[in-house]
Structure 1
Amino acid sequence: MKALIFVTAFLFSGITVSATETKLMVRAKARDAKFIGSSLGGAYIIIRNKLDQQILAEGKTTGSTGNTDLIMKDPKMRESSITDAQTACFLAKIDIDEPTLVSIEVISPYTHRQAQAKVSTELWLIPGRDILGDGIILEIPGFIIDILKPRTHQYISLKAIKDNPFQIQADVVMMCGCVIDKGGVWNSEEIEVKGILKKDGKHIKDIKMSLTSTKLFEGDLLINTVGNYELIVYAYNERTGNTGVDKVNYVIYE
């Protein structure tokens, strides 16, 4: 009976608790490059209540990589924006009834598992106080590297390559998909790309790789023995600290 009286009194007291929609703009930006958007499959965003880990919003960034001049070339002031209406983002709409500490997790690039990085941050959301404009920008370090030659688990006849240079190839781009080229905005001459060759688990040699066309790096090596080989290709930019790696295993048979 007392409980019924309390509920009735509460309902007629005029006191109501209602959640307020609060907007939060989240973007993923490649280190030393542009934003991660639809052309690369997007970055995956997860926003959680820090207290109980409940997912409040999740989804992928969509839109363009942004304006190159605005992001990479124009001088920046304190109030400067580096996004425009087309720049990739994830807009979360979260219902909260009190200030809420949230964690934001970004996994990117979504469709390139070998290059994925996860970054996160935390902030307070205030009911009805939207965070828009450039929003919260999380930086994704690295390079996306895809080894094209040799192919994963490829079987190669020793007769076909013995005493002849064996070509290796790798496609290297920024984490937003932006291309690397000689003298370009992302200059290949600033980036070291090398192959590390292992046979039956033991290091054999390092292979220098050079740009032969836009974002394509190549190198040559001689292989004269059968075995199980592993090729590791890495990219490294000393100025930015960016690194990236891809690996393949292949077999040389008699």
Structure 2
Amino acid sequence: MKKSILLLAISLICINSFATETKLMVRAKAKDAKFVGSSIGGAYVMVRNAMNNNILAEGLTTGSTGNTDLIMKSSHDRYTQLSEESTAGFMAVVDIDQPTFVRVEVLSPMNRKNAQVQASTELWLIPGKDILGDGIVLEIPGFIVDILKPNTHQYIALESIPETGLEIAANIVMMCGCPIQEDGIWDSKLMEVKALVYKDGEPLGEIALKNPSQNTFTGQLEITEAGYYQITVYAYNAKTGNTGVETINYVVRG
């Protein structure tokens, strides 16, 4: 019995002795914007063996969104590295003893469930051949849309709504958390933002939302009747193809 255990231990040591530590940098980058990092809660990364689906490494991207001038304001030649030492990423460290085909999965942004996008790619990892620098960069399209007013399942008295209408307000940012405003790097004038309104399950109309301040889009909805209301706010940039949506429901009581 002791001899069997000893032989097993020796076998495991021999197997592990051939395994080589291999590093893979993984980053998530918002479409038309910067990297997904700590300021928005990071992107969740999983590196799997594509053959058996076993997770080889997993964790969050951490760090800054990156250098704005380099990423957004400069033309890029071939081999230009967009990341810096402080730029958000996840360093996957795996031990492999032979070339291994892996699947890299990213769920981003981790803490914004209504806007999460899953992106993935596959590649070969070769023992001891690190993939560093920008590493593997997965693009995350879209906008993060949060409806601020009215609140989800809010009960609103009809008589309390002013003549100017019920205020609709939404907070909208890029998928990395980067700010949106008129004439900014992410220019709200290039975006179409509207609220689609439904009453008792039927379309009631749509309202264009304006951008009076950074990340904030507002409009006024005229309401004359009680009922069950639903608002869907969408953001759309025809130039980049980025889109974002959120829906809430509320009740107007007579």
Whether TM exceeds 0.5 here: the answer is yes
Q: Which residue of 2 aligns with 1:193?
A: 193
Number of positions where the alignment pairs a residue of Structure 1 with one of Structure 2? 246
Counterpart of 1:88? 88
Residue 112 of structure 2 aligns with which residue?
112
Q: Tell me the distance in 1 between the aligned counterparts of 2:192 and 2:172.
A: 11
Give how far 1:163 is off: 4.0
Give the equivalent residue in structure 2 for 1:182. Answer: 182
For residue 201 of structure 1, report the CA deviation from its aligned partner: 1.2
Q: What runs of 5+ residues in structure 1 fail to find an aligned partner?
A: none
Q: Which residue of 1 aligns with 2:165?
A: 165
Displacement, 1:162? 6.2
The equivalent residue for 2:78 is 78
Aligned to 1:69, the other structure's residue is in SS state helix
CA shift at 1:17, angstroms? 5.7
Give the aligned residue type for 2:245.
V
Give the C-alpha shift of residue 161 in structure 1.
1.3
Q: Equivalent residues in 2 for 1:225-240 (5 A)?
A: 225-240=225-240
Tell me the distance in 2 between the aligned counterparts of 1:198 and 1:120. 36
CA RMSD of aligned residues (A): 1.8
Q: Secondary structure at the match of 1:138?
A: strand
Given that 1:162 and 1:223 are in contact with CA atoms closer than 8 Å, whether structure 2 keeps it comes out as no
8 A contact 1:44–1:106 mirrored in 2: yes
Contact 2:166–2:221 (CA<8 Å) still a contact in 1? Answer: yes
**Partners of 1:226 and 1:78 in 2: CA distance:** 60
Stretches (4+) displaced over 4 A:
14-17
Secondary structure of the corresponding residue to residue 185 of structure 1: coil
How far off is 1:164 after superposition?
A: 3.8
Q: CA deviation at 1:223?
A: 0.6
Residue identity opposite 1:65 in structure 2: T
Residue 59 of structure 2 aligns to which amino acid in structure 1?
A: G
CA distance in 2, matches of 1:64, 1:163: 45
From the superposition, tell whether residues 121 and 15 of structure 1 become closer, same or farther in structure 2 (CA, over 3 Å).
Answer: closer
Residue 18 of structure 2 aligns to a residue whose secondary structure is coil
Residues 144-163 of structure 1: matches in 2 within 5 Å?
144-161=144-161, 163=163
For 2:61, the equivalent position in structure 1 comes to: 61
Residue 109 of structure 1: how far off its partner (Å): 0.7
Specify the alignment match of 2:29 in structure 1. 29
Identity fraction in percent: 56
Q: Which amino acid aligns with 2:55?
A: I
How far, CA to CA, are the matches of 2:198 and 2:247 in structure 1? 11
CA deviations on 1:170-208 (whole Å, 9 max, x unpaired) are 000000000001101000100110000011111110111
Rounded to whole Å, the distance in 2 between the matches of 1:42 and 1:108 is: 7
Q: Read off the aligned partner of 1:139 and give its amino acid letter.
A: E
Structure 2 residue ranges without an equivalent (≥5): none
Q: Distance in 2 between matches of 1:127 and 1:16?
A: 13
Distance 2:29 2:248 in 1: 28
| CA apart distance, 1:218 | 0.3
Distance 1:20 1:138 in 2: 25
CA distance, structure 1, for counterparts of residue 15 and residue 99 of structure 2: 19
Secondary structure at 2:69's aligned position in 1?
helix
Amino acid paired to 1:217: F
The one-letter code of the counterpart of 1:101 is F
CA contact (8 A) 1:110 1:116 kept: yes
Matched-pair contact (CA < 8 Å) for 1:162–1:224? no
TM-score by length of 2: 0.93
Preserved contact between residue 196 and residue 207 of structure 1 (Cα < 8 Å): yes
Q: Quick check: 2:164–2:220 contact (8 Å CA) kept in 1? A: no
Match of 2:47 in 1: 47
3-state SS, counterpart of residue 71 of structure 2: helix
Q: Could you list the per-position Cα deviations for residues 119-152 of structure 1 after superposition, in whole angstroms to 9, with x for gaps in the alignment?
A: 0000000000000001000000000011000000
How far apart are residue 79 of structure 1 and its match? 1.5
Structure 2 counterpart of 1:127: 127
Corresponding residue SS for 1:70: helix
Instruction: Give the counterpart letter for 2:72 in structure 1.
Output: M
